[in-house]
Structure 1
Amino acid sequence: MVQGSENPQVDSLARPAPRVSYRMAEPAAALAESGTLAAFGFGKHAPRSGDPRHLQVPLEAFEGPAPLELWQVDAPVSSGSDGAMHWAAGGGWLFASIELDEREHGGATATAELAYRQLHQLVSARAEHHVQRVWNYLGAINHGDGDAEHYKHFCDGRASGMGDFFSEGFPAATAIGHHGDAHHLQVYLLACDRPGRKVENPRQISAWRYPRQYGRTPPSFARAMILPAGDVLAISGTAAVVGHASAHQHDLDAQLAETMVNLDALLANAGMASGFDSHSPLKAYVRHRGDAARVREFLGRRLPGVPVLLLHGDICRSELLFEIDGWRYV
């Protein structure tokens, strides 16, 4: 269901969503453009920059070199850093990121708690305090059994650190395992000075209501978020989950098809037509390198003309082989 949508009228003061695009460009050139809120490079060989708006995401692209992902707004942008925290703001929008080494902060649970506590402190002090979307990238996400799994420790820490961070409802989110330093945690978010509207998938149990078998602390995210002006749907990491269970365990082709059904159901529940176009960039996360060609061929057939960045990443459940997230512009 669409949460918080009792008033169907779009706020006349709502902020147009940032423009998200993929582009082959040097970070310095992209960051010099007016209105650049954030720029993301992918993989260990991506160019680096000391600009707080630039983030190197520790996920390798299958088709390198990968383009930059750019977020741009129609307003001047200011930025800054405070220790491990970096931020940029403009046009009513806020980008914030933090990167921490779990070895320096007491392990996975304590590090996730610290990351979310510091993000909460930053965002709650600003006008742009309505969090729309969060990305979590952590190493060795499936390492450990049962409650000792790395991802479950992360979920425990995230819940402890957020406090009342998301008192108005959970934002859209992604959590993916990277293949870089196993102790490296990266979290970044997009927030606004106006609230968005949460969207759930009728084919799936809301993540925060998952049963105990998925850990002491259920994941804390909405399936998607309609951004304040109603012009974009920010889609959370979406995989072959039906109800609360993983479907078609270890069957890539069936998981790909089921994920597309979930995307269509999510779009329908958001009041949007099915399908994506060339203005709606997506990220596809593939667990096994050997599956990349099959995934690329499938997405080429099912999403022709849609910009999809294919990344090597582990899904939060070890039996899942594929996940997709991104943006659907109206």
Structure 2
Amino acid sequence: MKYHRIKCNLYKAEGGSWEQMAEELLSSAVREERVVRLILFTRCTDNQEYKFQRSFLEQWVEWHFVSPRPVVSLVAQKPLVANLVLEVHSLVEAADEALTIEEQFTSSVRYLRIATPHYREIIAGGLCADDLNLPVREQSEQAFRKAEEILKAEQMNFGDIVRQWNYLERITDIAHGNQCYQDFNDVRTLFYASSAWESGYPAATGIGTQYGGILIDFNAVSGEVDIVPLDNDWQRAAHVYSDEVLISHRADTEKGTPKFERGKSVSDRRQEVIYISGTAAIRGEESVTTGDVLSQTEITLENIQHLIGLEEGRENWLEHSGKLGLLRVYLKNEEDAPAVKADLDKLCPDLPIAYLYADVCREELLIEIEGIAYL
């Protein structure tokens, strides 16, 4: 049995109109084989422009990709090293085993099913509410209902999700005494309650966007594949955070903690994919509030290094960087991008890295990093 891992590529564009840059990036992606997901990171001025760009992306994919078309997501996070960034997920396929990729539909969403005689993987993206002006809680409920609909159609449940991305417009805003991220976590907790979580919660990222409401992407896997949650003993598991970390007017028993693991391993015992959750300068459950972005970057990288088992030290990232396949670097302050990029260029040369302007879920944190590693 072989697990057909998903690889990630980055394409960047600078100059020209938005439509010209988007066409340039998408034309590069259409030449790749077995593309299953496209994520376009973009700058928007409001939700009206966001909806226009999302429509452009969806129509372009419909017209230029043959079936099975990739799922698409538009993420309103301003790129900081380029004007437009496209992340492309494609399937590494071996010739020695039967594999199919099929487009599937529910009443409200399209998704992909990857199937072999031994396992199935579901690729879902762009799950959002129909109205981006609804309150966070209602948008979250609609997005999770769409996810639930897909999983039920595949005879899966939330416990089969191995990687989830949660994009939240204005993630740290407070409305009616609750942080937007807390409202989202409360809804996530309600939907997750129906699953057993035998392999732990998903690897996940909860990150801010400038526009676009609530948006969810996920990968779910079921079958003869080893799926292992990865803990980091330097950090308290997010799903058991104490009340001090959660911002809500509700009683403790009603507050939903962030339901994710620090990482998730998916393997066939010959090769392993590690999904690295959104990681920041947190030890235990406390933020390391140095106020210095490079110091927070170093602590964040140490957390990632410890999670995936690279214990030799910061100076050896050069030696081990081949194990990393991609990083996304989310920065709270645009002006921090040049210094952070210069630091990471030394540590991880030739590694695809997207630098994005995004609010992190805690006010004091200046940077968050997620990624994927192949072992």
Note whether the superposition's TM-score is higher than 0.5.
yes
Range that drifts further, 219-228 or 242-251: 242-251
Aligned partner (choices 353, 360, 363) of residue 308 of structure 1: 353
Alpha carbons of structure 1 residues 88 and 137: separation in structure 2 relative to 1, 3 Å: same
Whether the 8 Å contact between 2:78 and 2:356 is mirrored in structure 1 is: yes
Alpha carbons of structure 1 residues 279 and 219: separation in structure 2 relative to 1, 3 Å: closer
Structure 1 unaligned blocks of 5 or more: 1-12
Give distance in 1, aligned partners of 2:196 and 2:210. Answer: 29
Whether the 8 Å contact between 2:106 and 2:150 is mirrored in structure 1 is: no
Alpha carbons of structure 1 residues 225 and 155: separation in structure 2 relative to 1, 3 Å: same
TM-score between the two structures when normalised by the length of structure 2: 0.76
Tell me the secondary structure at the aligned position of residue 40 of structure 2. Answer: strand
Q: How does 1:128-147 map to 2 (within 5 A)?
A: 130-144=160-174
Tell me the secondary structure at the aligned position of residue 112 of structure 1. Answer: helix
2:332 is the alignment partner of 1:287: yes
Deviation digits for residues 172-206 of structure 1, max 9, x if unmatched? 0001001124xx11100011223521101110111
Deviation digits for residues 188-246 of structure 1, max 9, x if unmatched? 00112235211011101111110011222211000001113342111000000000000
Letter in 1 for 2:341: R
Letter in 1 for 2:233: P
Alpha carbons of structure 1 residues 173 and 143: separation in structure 2 relative to 1, 3 Å: same
In structure 2, the residue matched to 1:222 is 261
Give distance in 1, aligned partners of 2:130 and 2:335. Answer: 30
2:216 is the alignment partner of 1:187: yes
2:149 is the alignment partner of 1:121: yes
Deviation of 1:146 (Å): 9.6
In structure 1, the residue matched to 2:366 is 321
TM-score between the two structures when normalised by the length of structure 1: 0.85
Deviation of 1:306 (Å): 1.6
Aligned partner (choices 186, 202, 227) of residue 196 of structure 1: 227
Alpha carbons of structure 1 residues 54 and 32: separation in structure 2 relative to 1, 3 Å: farther
Range that drifts further, 124-133 or 309-318: 124-133
Deviation of 1:40 (Å): 1.5
Range that drifts further, 172-181 or 28-37: 28-37
In structure 2, the residue matched to 1:8 is none
Percent identity, aligned pairs only, is: 23
Letter in 2 for 1:285: Y
Give distance in 2, aligned partners of 1:203 and 1:278. Answer: 21
Greater helix proportion? 2
Whether the 8 Å contact between 2:239 and 2:258 is mirrored in structure 1 is: yes
Structure 2 unaligned blocks of 5 or more: 13-23, 45-52, 63-69, 94-98, 247-254
Range that drifts further, 146-155 or 312-321: 146-155
In structure 1, the residue matched to 2:74 is 56
In structure 1, the residue matched to 2:193 is 163
User: How many aligned positions are there?
Assistant: 313
Letter in 2 for 1:22: L
Letter in 1 for 2:277: S
Give distance in 2, aligned partners of 1:33 and 1:290. Answer: 34
Deviation of 1:293 (Å): 1.1
CA RMSD of aligned residues (A): 2.7
